[in-house]
A and B are shown apart, each in its own frame.
Chain A
């Protein structure tokens, strides 16, 4: 179908608002620089300055969970399909990367995308029959499939070595360069996490993202607007599971050891809690939620074993007091439109709407 070009009277003209457009570009550069400076400047500086392997470890875990939380937000927050089996796809990615590198000796440059693709392929197989299910039935199906995958990881001893897990997974290496130090490991994970979040950002903060949100709001209605509902849901699920797989590969290559217990139901719930605490449907929220839920228990290390109680209590209080999360969807979309210049300027100036 060809793109009708509407008449000029309603096209946005960049000359109409030169001042505002420049201000936007300035803001976009500012926020991008701030984010990159924190991820690639402040955090590595802190790791180097303190020389703390503990800090580096938390930073790596946080980055992995940022990918998980952002990818779960894509399907559950944006497209509105409650998935409570996300950790299973994380596990598939982790095992795929671990087995491909330990058994076949494949390099990281192959195992990383392969882990994502294998998880996405399983996601596709899962999505095909379950996308017709509505609401809680879909959630239960993901729970069932998540548990099935866990049972398989635990019991298919010939392939996965069962509860013993897989040891000796090689670290991240790229064309001869090896991430041997914790700092270099963090940097590699951070680069990949930033790319993943950027991709999800492009997907959600666009008219394609609006179509996904329409599925969540009222899929029958979206259907009669010309939106291919089933295809879009499958796409969203595949994208989401792909990134969960990538996160799994990062876990394998940074921790050198994985076991089925890393991918249990509680892990899925932890990821869901990140999305909820951050704000369902809000990508900045998913990132903040992941950082919060990883850093909080560490900050509460002094209270020792009570920290899981603190996690539960945080989740509970956040649902009670901030039902829309720390960064609510509406506000965060408006923020992205302004701060990252993704919005479309209207004739009258004012607040940006739509997407560029």
Chain B
């Protein structure tokens, strides 16, 4: 019985980690949808979100609820900047051939990688390479008893925030003109252009939305773990990326499901393995998935990309 409760607790922890991965994976998926390229700087957006949040907290000490909108704004800004810097210069050619060309895809893959290196190094200089502590008032580590199980406030905040953001995203994508634009461009960029959608603006919006989700994930984890560092974005970035690929690259529900799966299996794995080995679980799941589902679990025979 004790063990069961413990397991349940681990599942809850895993779900909260999974939702963090999911928030990031959605950003990857949205951006892959509209541009058909991978944004390697997404992990840095997460880190920026955490640092902006921390700066706001240390400077102004606002209530927690006020931190989130500021982080959202910072995320949106960094997304727009990222698109300007690492993606737009490579969209000079808009015909179908170069949109599908491997060269262009690889160029933006590498340019986003280069921008991520630069961003991370700049943060290293501004904040130093060490972990930054979070003021204890803002730490989300207080345990709350729900029936027989103890849940950290951080988990609850992550669940609540993720639910709100997923709902808002759903609303945005399916109930607004902007969302229609994003879906149209994802489906067929040239076609969208022909029916009069401003594809450039849609792409920028997508980056802004995806980066808002990523930045929020960053500050949530920062407050939950109580430590923020310029390198913190790498691991969750890779795992969210893995979730996107396992989900089939272009499926948001697929990415969320796989992100939750990764989070829970990592959390449960720590019961059986020392924590150093837990990352092996993620990568093994990735490789096994790719071997048996070369297009991801939720991928639908997308054209050979």
Give yes or no for direct A-B contact (beta carbon below 8 Å): yes
Q: Bound complex: CA of A145 vs CA of B288, how far in Å?
A: 11
Contact of B117 among A135, A141, A154, A308 (CB under 8 A): A308
B111 interface residue, CB < 8 Å from A? yes
CB pair A137–B290 under 8 Å, yes or no, is yes
* Minimum distance in angstroms from B40 CB to a CB of chain A: 9
Which residues of B from 234 to 290 have beta carbons under 8 Å from A?
Answer: 234, 238, 241-242, 245, 249, 274, 276-277, 279-280, 282-284, 286-287, 290
CB pair B284–A312 under 8 Å, yes or no, is no
Q: Do A144 and B234 contact each other (CB < 8 Å), given the known contacts A311-B117, A319-B111?
A: no
B103 interface residue, CB < 8 Å from A? yes
* Minimum distance in angstroms from B237 CB to a CB of chain A: 10
A295 interface residue, CB < 8 Å from B? no
A202 interface residue, CB < 8 Å from B? no
CB pair B122–A144 under 8 Å, yes or no, is no
* Chain B residues with CB under 8 A of A129: 287, 291
CB pair B284–A148 under 8 Å, yes or no, is yes
A82 interface residue, CB < 8 Å from B? yes
CB pair A145–B114 under 8 Å, yes or no, is no
* Minimum distance in angstroms from A159 CB to a CB of chain B: 14
* Minimum distance in angstroms from A149 CB to a CB of chain B: 9
* Chain A residues with CB under 8 A of B283: 144-145, 147-148, 151
Query: How many residues does chain A have at the interface if contact means C-beta atoms less than 8 Å apart?
Result: 39
Q: Bound complex: CA of A305 vs CA of B105, how far in Å?
A: 31
* Minimum distance in angstroms from B124 CB to a CB of chain A: 8
CB pair B286–A141 under 8 Å, yes or no, is yes
* Chain B residues with CB under 8 A of A305: 124-125
Which residues of B from 191 to 243 have beta carbons under 8 Å from A?
Answer: 234, 238, 241-242
Please indicate which of the listed interface residues B114, B125, B283 has the most CB atoms of chain A within 10 Å of its own CB: B114
* Chain A residues with CB under 8 A of B296: 137
A122 interface residue, CB < 8 Å from B? no
Contact of A312 among B115, B249, B279 (CB under 8 A): B115
Q: Do A272 and B103 contact each other (CB < 8 Å), given the known contacts A130-B291, A137-B245?
A: no
Q: Bound complex: CA of A272 vs CA of B40, how far in Å?
A: 14
Q: Do A148 and B245 contact each other (CB < 8 Å), given the known contacts A80-B102, A276-B110?
A: no
Query: How many residues does chain B have at the interface if contact means C-beta atoms less than 8 Å apart?
Result: 45
Q: Bound complex: CA of A120 vs CA of B287, how far in Å?
A: 19
CB pair A134–B115 under 8 Å, yes or no, is no
Q: How many residue pairs between the two chains, A and B, have CB atoms under 8 Å in the bound complex?
A: 113
B295 interface residue, CB < 8 Å from A? yes
Contact of B280 among A82, A148, A316 (CB under 8 A): A148
* Minimum distance in angstroms from A333 CB to a CB of chain B: 17
Contact of B114 among A132, A137, A306, A319 (CB under 8 A): A319
A339 interface residue, CB < 8 Å from B? no
CB pair B279–A141 under 8 Å, yes or no, is no
* Chain B residues with CB under 8 A of A319: 90, 107, 110-111, 114
* Minimum distance in angstroms from A334 CB to a CB of chain B: 19
CB pair B241–A140 under 8 Å, yes or no, is yes
* Chain A residues with CB under 8 A of B90: 319-320
A13 interface residue, CB < 8 Å from B? no
Q: Do A316 and B276 contact each other (CB < 8 Å), given the known contacts A140-B245, A141-B290, A323-B103?
A: no
CB pair A151–B277 under 8 Å, yes or no, is yes
B56 interface residue, CB < 8 Å from A? no
**Chain B residue nearest to A157 in the complex (CB):** B276
A313 interface residue, CB < 8 Å from B? yes
A99 interface residue, CB < 8 Å from B? no
**Chain B residue nearest to A314 in the complex (CB):** B114
CB pair B89–A136 under 8 Å, yes or no, is no
CB pair A265–B290 under 8 Å, yes or no, is no
CB pair A312–B245 under 8 Å, yes or no, is no
Interface pairs (8), CB distance under 8 Å: A133-B294, A137-B296, A147-B238, A148-B283, A315-B113, A315-B117, A316-B86, A316-B111
5 shortest A-B CB distances, which residue pairs? Answer: A312-B117, A316-B114, A312-B118, A315-B114, A155-B276
